[in-house]
Each structure stands twice: as structure tokens, then as C-alpha cells.
Amino acid sequence: MTQQYTTLSEIPLSKSSVEHASFSYWYKLFQKHIPTSRIISPLPDEFIQYLEQDGIKLPVEKNSSSYYTDKIQRNEDNEYSDWDNSDDEENTRKYKQPIDPLTHFPELHQRIKDIIDEIGPVTPKLNWSAPRDATWILPNNNMKCNEVNEIYLLLNASNYIAYDLEHAFDDCIDKDQITPTKPSYELVLRQWFNINPALEFRIFVKNQRVIGVSQRDLNYYDYLEALSDTFKDTIDEFIEDEVILLYPEQDFVIDLYIPRPFKKAFIIDINTFSRSTDPLMFSWNELVTMDLDIDNERDYELRLVKRNNVARFASKEHSENQVPKDVVDASLDPNVIKELASKWKELLSQQEADTDSDSDSAEE
Ligand SMILES: Nc1ncnc2c1ncn2[C@@H]1O[C@H](COP(=O)(O)OP(=O)(O)OP(=O)(O)O)[C@@H](O)[C@H]1O
Ligand SMILES: [Mg+2]
């Protein structure tokens, strides 16, 4: 019988489990099951600093024109961000002048452009995370990048990317012994395709066995339930025959895409079996304590959003990062940002005044 757990901390996360979840590691193992991707690694330090800055300077290349650089030029200076804000002491202290891709990492800049020329629009990610929370910064509100500047904007605006850069090993039991403390960063450019989010699944594997599967996108799709057994067959076969034999971890979470006719699975992502991975329609407590081995007859559950639980799950996905369209428009024009900021202040003080009068009346 396999070991039984009662809390997630009993399943220790090591540095190597985190490294095994980085794209370049599992890409080597499963390349033929992964949609077309390119990996750039190692990355220059200046690029990492560029992503960490509060706001960025987009490159304006001679003889080239793009949605962003045209906008920048119309706005007189070529700064996309708040760089010229002299109040921003943090930036001024850290970097004497804004990092410019054309000056500080021209080879990487060119490499990204070459990859886009070769495979068409891409969606970026670093070792572990994609900037899913920053789509508001692009006009189409998705992660599709037609040009290099869109990649810079998405990555710089994302908290998930900032997490990869600052906290990748935070949950590891051996984090104090980790040297060097920073991982070797990689930029992954995946060829963009129109993924149907209904057909993405997150598979939880414990002790090399599937213990649960959740729909990845938490909206209601009426046709999924009837296909449940088909998905399970494809998942079981793929995990058993392709993944478990090669992947060195006992416990992990893998995201699969199973497009029509639902016979083939593609790997979208592999994550650690740890709290930093979203358990979606499960809870971590449930996953950790679940032990299908005790009762071999019992099969795992494929959880789907149903008509009666849609309200519970639909708004779960990083809702804290949804930004109003006004802010998106403003991000493309410094003058509008100023206008928006003063409106925002006005609203806040109005709200404070309202709250004060509310609490005054409540106390009465
Ligand atoms: N090649 C692609 N073309 C279009 N969309 C894609 C492509 N690859 C992935 N996506 C979409 O991007 C989403 C996020 O990708 P991915 O799972 O790699 O990010 P992540 O940051 O690791 O997410 P999580 O934090 O949930 O693990 C996927 O669920 C999928 O919908
Ligand atoms: Mg992931």
C-alpha cells in the first residue's frame, strides 16, 4: 500500500521538483506531444532587469512601424511608461537610465523577432508561468503576440511573471541550501493557435496515479458531460503510456489539451503538486487526503462545471487582475494616464467621504 498523507506539507517540494516543472525540462522529454515552441535560454541579466522594472521603455527601431511605436512617437517621447516621473525614486536608484532592448540586449531582441518571422504569432512564458493576468495590456485582451513589443508589455505587466522571477523556489523545503538562489531563466515562445479552452484539462497525479481531473477553464460548456468517458480514456492512456514512464516525479499536475476527435492529448503545461498550483475544482486538502489505492475499485473523478455549480466557479480565475478598458487605453497614452489618475483620486475621496457619512449615520 502507498503512503497516506493528511496535509500538503507531508509531500515535500524539492528544488528538483520545481526544476522538473520548468518548460525546457519537460519539453525535452515530451517534445512530440507539445505544440510548436521555441526556447531561448539562458537570458541576459539586462532582460530580467527589464522585466522587473516598474514600466518599460519600448524600442523604436529605424524604418519600422508598429501599433505601439507609432503611438509612442505620436506622444513625442519614446517612453511607454512612467520613466520620466522624477518621483519614482526606486527606478532612478536601481537603473541610471531605462533599459532599452536595442542597446542592452540587441541579440535577444533580434532572436525574438526572427522566431516570430519563422513561426508567426506566439504566446510567451518563462520557465513556469505565462502572463495570463496581463492580457488587459494588449488591445485584443489575450496573450497573442504579433510583434516583439507585445511580448515585452505582457511579461512586464504580469504578476505571475514577477513571481517566477522572485519567488520560484519559495515553497521548497531545501530553499535555504539552494545555490545559486536564482534559477536559470528561459523565455518560451509557443506558436499561437486558437485553443478551445473547453477542451483543456488539469490532471492531478499522486504516487504516479491519476487521482482527479478538473476542467481547466471554469465556464460551463454543455457538451462536455456527454464526452466525459471519452476524455477519461484518452487521459488514462496518455498518462500511463507516455507520461509516467518518463517523468521523474511521483506527484505532479499536468495540463492537457484534447481537441476533436478527442483521441489525442497535447501537453500544455506541467506544474508541481503544491499549493502554488491552482487546484481549480478541487481543494488541496481534498487532493492530498484522497487515496484511491485503499479502494482499488474506486475510479477518479473528472470534475466539470455543471449548470448548477457554474456560479461557484465561473469568476474564480484570477479575477483580481481584470482591469477596466479605460485603464488599458490609458496605458497607451501617458496624458490619459494622468487624467485617469486624477479621476481615480476624485472617486476615492468621494468614496471616503461617503463611507465617513455612512459610518456616522450607522453610529447614530
Ligand atoms: N500555443 C498556444 N496558443 C494559444 N494559447 C495557448 C498556447 N499555449 C497555451 N495557451 C493558453 O495559455 C494558457 C496558460 O498557459 P500555461 O498553462 O502554460 O500557463 P501557466 O502560467 O503555467 O498557467 P498555470 O499557472 O495555470 O499553470 C493555457 O491554459 C492555454 O489556454
Ligand atoms: Mg503552469
DSSP secondary structure of 108-177: HHHHHHHHHHHH-SEEEE-SS---GGGGGGSTTSSS-BSSHHHHHHHHHH-HHHHHHHHHTTTT-TTGGG
Tens digits of per-residue pLDDT, 282-332?
999 999 998 776 666 679 999 999 988 887 776 665 555 555 545 555 555
Neighbours of ion ligand 2 (CB under 5 A): 269, 271
- pLDDT at position 103, please? 95
Residue nearest ligand 1's atom 9 by CA: 268
- The band of 57, judged by pLDDT with boundaries at 50, 70 and 90, is confident
8 pLDDT above the threshold of 70: yes
Least confident stretch, 212-216, 271-275, 327-331? 327-331
* Ligand of minimum distance to the alpha carbon of 125: 1
Bridge partner residues of 40 (DSSP) = 187
Over residues 98-110, the mean pLDDT reads 96
Query: Measured on CA atoms in the order 38, 185, 104, 93, is the torsion positive or negative?
Result: positive
- The band of 82, judged by pLDDT with boundaries at 50, 70 and 90, is very low
Task: Share the mean pLDDT of the chain.
Answer: 84
Those residues with Cβ within 8 angstroms of residue 7's Cβ, 6 or more apart along the chain or in another chain: 285, 288
Those residues with Cβ within 8 angstroms of residue 82's Cβ, 6 or more apart along the chain or in another chain: 54, 55, 88, 334, 337
- pLDDT at position 236, please? 97
Tens digits of per-residue pLDDT, 127-145?
999 999 999 999 999 999 9
Q: Read off the C-alpha cell for 342.
A: 486624477
Ligand 1 centre from 353 Cα, in Å?
43
- pLDDT at position 83, please? 47
- pLDDT at position 170, please? 86
Separation of alpha carbons 115 and 124, rounded Å? 12
Ligand 2 centre from 57 Cα, in Å?
28
Share of the chain above pLDDT 90, in %: 60
Least confident stretch, 15-29, 41-55, 339-353? 339-353
166 pLDDT above the threshold of 80: yes
361 pLDDT above the threshold of 50: no
Where does 194-313 sit in CATH, by number? Answer: 3.30.470
- pLDDT at position 335, please? 60
The residue behind cell 479552452 is 197
- The band of 76, judged by pLDDT with boundaries at 50, 70 and 90, is very low
Least confident stretch, 104-118, 162-176, 196-210, 290-304? 290-304
Ligand 2 centre from 271 Cα, in Å?
5
- pLDDT at position 174, please? 80
Residue nearest ligand 1's atom 28 by CA: 268
Is 51 or 85 the better-scoring residue by pLDDT? 51
